[in-house]
Amino acid sequence: MIYPSKLKIGDTIGIFAPAGFYDKDLMLSHIDKFKNLGFNIKLGSHLFDTYKYLAGTDQNRAYDFMELLQDSEVKALMAFRGGYGCIRMLPHISLDVIVENPKIICGFSDLTVLLNYISQKTNLITYHGPMINSDLTDIMTRNSFLNCLCGNYSTLPLKFHYMPTTIYNPANVNGTLVGGNLSLICSSLSTPYEINTDNSILLLEDVNESPYKIDRLLSQLLLSSKLDNCNGFIIGYVNYTDSDSNDMNSEIKDIIEELLVPLGKPIILGYPFGHSYPNLCLPLGANVTLDIDNNKLIIS
């Protein structure tokens, strides 16, 4: 695996829009707030484009991504937002260019397919974490983001005092950290961009999905044998809406207990990542250990 170079305050971060569009004035407002972290920014050429429900055509969204990767001034790439559209962009990106320009790439939600595809095909660590439109005034989110991308980020707790975390099938295991948004993982099945879950610790989170849809998506993963070779699971926020409480809905817990717990693999349920806050930054493609005995997520 290849870790990209760490960021320093004052470095330039390239901003691209790989999925859904957003109001330009609101985009500029979020970008101004992001500048308060101390980084310089460079905007993708087509950042403010719109095409139907997308932030520009597939080719132009991919063009921005590739252009920023090849720009020697840019040290990291961050998505402005998710939404929908990354999977349409994937046929237009060059893995060779990514290998030649190994930089930090950060985002979540719809970015799940892009981040996992890159990490699996190039061995480059990518980052499941905040985007430009995320609330980086949340202290835990901001500190996690900066520690992960700028500092030494080798250990996290498995249980936090402010989160109602539950651990099932406790056992110390390790594997490759993969995954992210449950809906996007399922949408990649039987495509060239299908997420490899072998020997993995699988991240799962989602938003705006009712319990029966979560049941359907998890059942799809089970029946497609994608969970057979997972070593463990870390499940983040699974909320009805963006404004929901962080408390795991009892119906969702019942579904997880019915479908995943019988697999006999360790499950960390209620971990702080995904579509709520705090949203911790996690390195996809890294080797991690669930050290349940010592309440540690060890990243190596």
**103 and 171 together in one domain:** no
**98 and 215 together in one domain:** no
| Residue 204, domain extent | 155-299
Q: Domain end: 109, 131, 150, which one?
A: 150
**161 and 287 together in one domain:** yes
Report the pLDDT averaged over residues 108-117: 98
Over residues 187-226, the pLDDT tens digits come to: 999 999 999 999 999 999 999 999 999 999 999 999 999 9
In a domain, 2, yes or no: no
CATH of the domain at 45: 3.40.50.10740
**126 and 167 together in one domain:** no
Give yes or no for a contact between 182 and 205, defined as CB atoms under 8 angstroms apart. yes
In a domain, 229, yes or no: yes
Over residues 210-269, the pLDDT tens digits come to: 999 999 999 999 999 999 999 999 999 998 665 555 556 789 999 999 999 999 999 999
In a domain, 273, yes or no: yes
Q: What is the pLDDT of residue 245?
A: 55
In a domain, 3, yes or no: no
**187 and 159 together in one domain:** yes
Residue 130 has pLDDT above 80, yes or no: yes
**201 and 231 together in one domain:** yes
Q: Domain end: 150, 166, 184, which one?
A: 150
Across the chain, what does the average pLDDT equal? 95
**283 and 210 together in one domain:** yes
**146 and 162 together in one domain:** no
Residue 287 has pLDDT above 90, yes or no: yes
Percent residues over pLDDT 70 in the chain: 97
Report the pLDDT averaged over residues 69-75: 98
In a domain, 241, yes or no: yes
In a domain, 144, yes or no: yes
- What total of structural domains would you count in the chain? 2
**258 and 136 together in one domain:** no
Percent residues over pLDDT 90 in the chain: 92
Q: Domain end: 108, 127, 150, which one?
A: 150
**141 and 16 together in one domain:** yes
pTM above threshold 0.85: yes
**113 and 164 together in one domain:** no
**115 and 57 together in one domain:** yes
